[in-house]
């Protein structure tokens, strides 16, 4: 099944890359292999001139992955030590078919699409990223979600001999995250396996990471090795570290500031430290698509 998402972003919002210059021809040639394209993004109006492109180099060299260090360039410097083959993902809890799922077998069963999404960090910087991946719903359907499940818990690989940051108590390891089941099953929620048509770099969460574009980036857990269906709200790493500043939902909301800084505007990576800040969109621009998930909730309380 190929889900084609409508939006206001286009290829022009992403920097050309050597494998991306003739993307339409490449994707057309891959159509027979079941590789579909989709562009994900907001319908909310935002002047196109405010969207400066992000290169593969921007995306792969500036990010947070504390398992490899706390500096923005530490993941790119240190993640080469990570071994990603072979890779298995344990899916357990309230599912019909619990077990270890081989990554290659998963990929053989999934429909890989391209999704161009906004990415907003809680630190008030942002990017536009051309992910390749598949809908999380399809993977969960593969395991058979039971009717009693209400949440999905995720866990990152714990391997301190390869992930140097795990040798320090920056956070409680392994990194854990969670979504409500309806968030996880939403068609915008994907498991990303690539960027710009290439395998996702280690520093960006190889071989498979979660991407939830309307939430702050730390919700999009990297290098996933375990997925658990549960009826209880799961613990999440940043909430464990500081519940006052990091809630379970962590939806992008320009009207709810972080306890130590404003979330009203953001700095687009690629424009330099002194680039003009741009307004942050409610739910990162995906409000029309996902606001109904939170109808009746006070998102300043359930932040």
301, part of any domain: no
Write down the pLDDT at residue 159.
Answer: 98
The SS3 assignment for 99 reads strand
Residue 67 known to bind ligand: yes
CB within 8 A of 99, min separation 6: which ones?
Answer: 90, 91, 92
* pLDDT surpasses 60 at 50: no
Instruction: Please give the model's pTM, rounded to 2 decimal places.
Output: 0.87
Q: Where are the beta strands (DSSP E) in 181-240?
A: 190-195, 198-199, 209-211, 224-230
Residue 215 known to bind ligand: no
Residues above pLDDT 70, as percent of the chain? 83
300, part of any domain: no
Residue 260 known to bind ligand: no
52 — pLDDT class (breaks 50, 70, 90): low
Cis omega (within 30 of 0) for bond into 142: no
Place of tokens 């979600």: 145
* pLDDT surpasses 50 at 31: no
278, part of any domain: yes
Residue 26 sits in a domain of what CATH number? 3.90.420.10
Residue 66 known to bind ligand: yes
What value does the mean pLDDT of the chain take?
A: 87
Instruction: Give the residue among 110, 153, 152 at the shortest CA–CA distance from 133.
Output: 110
**Is the distance from CB of 46 to CB of 281 less than 8 angstroms?**
yes
Residue 232 known to bind ligand: no
Once rounded to an integer, what is the mean pLDDT over residues 291-298?
Answer: 98
2, part of any domain: no
The per-residue pLDDT for range 10-28, each reduced to its tens digit, is: 444 544 454 443 443 333 3
The per-residue pLDDT for range 136-172, each reduced to its tens digit, is: 999 999 999 999 999 999 999 999 999 999 999 999 9
Residue 60 known to bind ligand: no
84, part of any domain: yes
| Number of alpha carbons in the 13 Å side-chain half-sphere of residue 1 | 9
The per-residue pLDDT for range 273-283, each reduced to its tens digit, is: 777 899 999 99
Once rounded to an integer, what is the mean pLDDT over residues 56-79?
Answer: 97
Residue 156 has which token pair? Answer: 């990152």
| Number of alpha carbons in the 13 Å side-chain half-sphere of residue 268 | 21
Residue 209 known to bind ligand: yes
Q: Which residue has the higher pLDDT, 17 or 70?
A: 70
Q: Hey, which of 46-60, 218-232, 268-282 has the most confident mean pLDDT?
A: 218-232
Cis omega (within 30 of 0) for bond into 174: yes
CA end-to-end span of the chain, whole Å? 33
* pLDDT surpasses 80 at 101: yes
Residue 15 known to bind ligand: no
131, part of any domain: yes
302, part of any domain: no
188, part of any domain: yes
Write down the pLDDT at residue 53.
Answer: 60
Write down the pLDDT at residue 41.
Answer: 40
Strands 224-230 and 209-211: unpaired
Residue span of the structural domain in which 198 resides? 11-294
Residue 128 has which token pair? Answer: 């536009």
Structurally, the chain folds into a number of domains equal to 1
6 — pLDDT class (breaks 50, 70, 90): very low
Place of tokens 């962590």: 250
* pLDDT surpasses 50 at 196: yes
Once rounded to an integer, what is the mean pLDDT over residues 228-235?
Answer: 98
| Number of alpha carbons in the 13 Å side-chain half-sphere of residue 166 | 14
């Amino acid at each position: 099944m190929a889900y084609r998402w409508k939006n206001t972003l286009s290829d022009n919002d992403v920097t050309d890359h050597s494998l991306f210059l003739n993307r339409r021809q490449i994707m057309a040639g891959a159509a027979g292999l079941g590789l579909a394209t989709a562009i994900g993004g907001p319908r909310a109006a935002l002047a196109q001139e405010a969207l400066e492109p992000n290169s593969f180099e921007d995306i792969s060299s500036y990010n947070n992955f504390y398992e490899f260090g706390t500096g923005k360039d530490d993941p790119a410097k240190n993640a080469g030590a990570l071994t990603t083959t072979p890779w298995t993902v344990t899916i357990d809890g309230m599912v019909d078919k619990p077990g270890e799922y081989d990554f290659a077998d998963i990929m053989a069963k999934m429909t890989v699409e391209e999704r161009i999404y906004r990415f907003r960090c809680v630190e008030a910087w942002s990017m536009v990223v051309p992910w390749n991946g598949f809908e999380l719903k399809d993977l969960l359907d593969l395991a058979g979600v039971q009717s009693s499940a209400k949440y999905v818990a995720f866990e990152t690989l714990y391997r301190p001999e390869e992930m140097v940051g795990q040798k320090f108590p920056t956070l409680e390891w392994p990194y854990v995250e969670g979504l409500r089941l309806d968030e996880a099953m939403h068609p915008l929620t994907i498991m990303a396996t690539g960027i710009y048509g290439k395998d996702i770099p280690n520093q960006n969460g190889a071989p498979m990471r979660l991407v939830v574009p309307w939430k702050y980036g730390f919700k999009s857990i990297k290098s996933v090795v375990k997925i658990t269906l549960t009826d209880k709200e799961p613990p999440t790493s940043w909430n464990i570290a500081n519940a006052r500043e990091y809630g379970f939902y962590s939806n992008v909301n320009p009207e709810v500031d972080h306890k130590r800084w404003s979330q009203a505007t953001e700095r687009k990576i690629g424009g330099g430290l002194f680039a003009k800040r741009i307004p942050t969109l409610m739910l990162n621009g995906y409000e029309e698509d996902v606001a109904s998930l939170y109808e009746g909730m006070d998102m300043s309380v359930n932040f």
